[in-house]
A = this chain, B = another copy of it.
């Protein structure tokens, strides 16, 4: 039986691997406080989504009669998971700061976590107000939308904005790790990567959204519309950590539309009010208000498919098709 042959090799493999882990402190999380629990965090996001959009997700059949009871259960579950995970993140930071392998004293972290969770939950009605405007913008902006329910129930852009607006509240409350884990979860589902630090204005509409990246220090005004593949990013220095904490992503003023695939970089780059940025342009400097920017039109080139005579100049850019 070949399995046996294989298993005879395992003790050696295990020992070599153990040695490599023991002798090199990189890539190991050994004798440390626990990291937050991604599964629990995803569970919390699911519960929060039910609180933001009651009746759309979770158990069907929400009525005026059972509303209060169901909300109570949801809030209690969310509070429990967040309290546990925020505490964990705070202990993690304390431990890192102490540069110690001992478990940090957890009491302060629990107190602080309690305050943070209360402040966060108190913000939910305000977040709902913002999302009601985003939903409206998504419906108004998309001729393919049949009704508002569809945008809430199906649109990945709205989902990602919802999740980022929640993560942004935790970011403002200075919770480590957690906000990024939350937005990365949305990123993995939708391909839309909005850093929890980004400041998003009212009535933001991100259509389709796959490939959108919005960096940490981006500021976006009101009534902005962003299509798939748009980057609001940073210019990369030789050593990125040099730029830590500086404004390095663009500012987008009100009433701007950015078409698919546009790349806009740099902390001093301001896209003025009312601009329309065409697809696939690459912008590293400011654009004055009410300006349309388009890529230099492409070169057209007639292709006589399969009909080239000998001696003709080769069509180098013909992509061989």
In the complex where A144-B195, A320-B237 touch, is A29 in contact with B14 (Cβ < 8 A)?
A: no
A257 at the B interface (CB under 8 A): yes
Q: Are A237 and B18 in touch, CB under 8 angstroms?
A: no
Q: Residue on B with the closest CB to A108?
A: B2
Q: Mark A106-135, 1 if CB is under 8 A from B, else 0.
A: 010011011001100110110010011001
What B residues does A228 contact at CB under 8 A?
A: 193, 211, 213, 231
Whether A244 sits at the interface, judged by CB under 8 Å, is yes
Report whether A300 and B319 are in contact in the complex, using a CB–CB cutoff of 8 Å.
no
Other-chain residue from B55, B132, B146 in contact with A29 (beta carbon distance below 8 A): B55
Number of copies: 3
B residues near A197, Cβ cutoff 8 Å: 144
- Who on chain B is nearest to A121 by CB? B13
Check A208/B216 contact, CB under 8 A, given A51-B17, A293-B300.
no
Chain B residue with Cβ nearest A37: B60
Knowing A60-B34, A216-B144, A294-B298, the reply to whether A265 touches B282 (Cβ < 8 A) is no
- A321 engages B257 (CB within 8 Å): yes
Instruction: Determine whether A45 belongs to the interface, using a CB cutoff of 8 Å to chain B.
Output: no
If A188-B190, A191-B211 touch, whether A6 touches B79 (CB-CB below 8 Å) is: yes
Expressed in whole angstroms, the minimum distance between the Cβ of A262 and any Cβ of chain B is 8
A291 touches B276 (CB 8 A): no
- Cα-based distance from A284 to B248 in the complex (angstroms): 31
The size bracket of the interface on A is 35 or more
Whether a CB of chain B sits under 8 angstroms from the CB of A35 is: yes
The complex places the Cα of A231 from the Cα of B262 at a distance, in Å, of: 12
Asked whether any CB of chain B lies closer than 8 Å to the CB of A68, the reply is yes
Query: Is A312 on the interface with B (CB-CB < 8 A)?
Result: no
Least CB distance, A175 to chain B, in whole angstroms: 12
**A311 is an interface residue with CB less than 8 A from chain B:** no
| Interface set, chain A 265-319, CB cutoff 8 A to B | 265, 274, 276, 278-285, 287-288, 290-305, 315-319
By a CB distance below 8 angstroms, the chain B residues around A56 are 29, 35
Minimum distance in angstroms from A150 CB to a CB of chain B: 7
B17 touches A125 (CB 8 A): yes
| A29-B56, A122-B13 known; A139 vs B241 contact (CB < 8 Å) | yes
- Name the distance in Å between A38's Cβ and chain B's nearest Cβ: 8
CA distance A246 to B295 in the complex (A): 27
Q: A181 at the A/B interface (Cβ < 8 Å)?
A: yes
Q: Give bound CA distance, A114 to B6, whole Å.
A: 5
Known: A53-B29, A299-B293, A305-B274. A236 touches B34 (CB 8 A): no
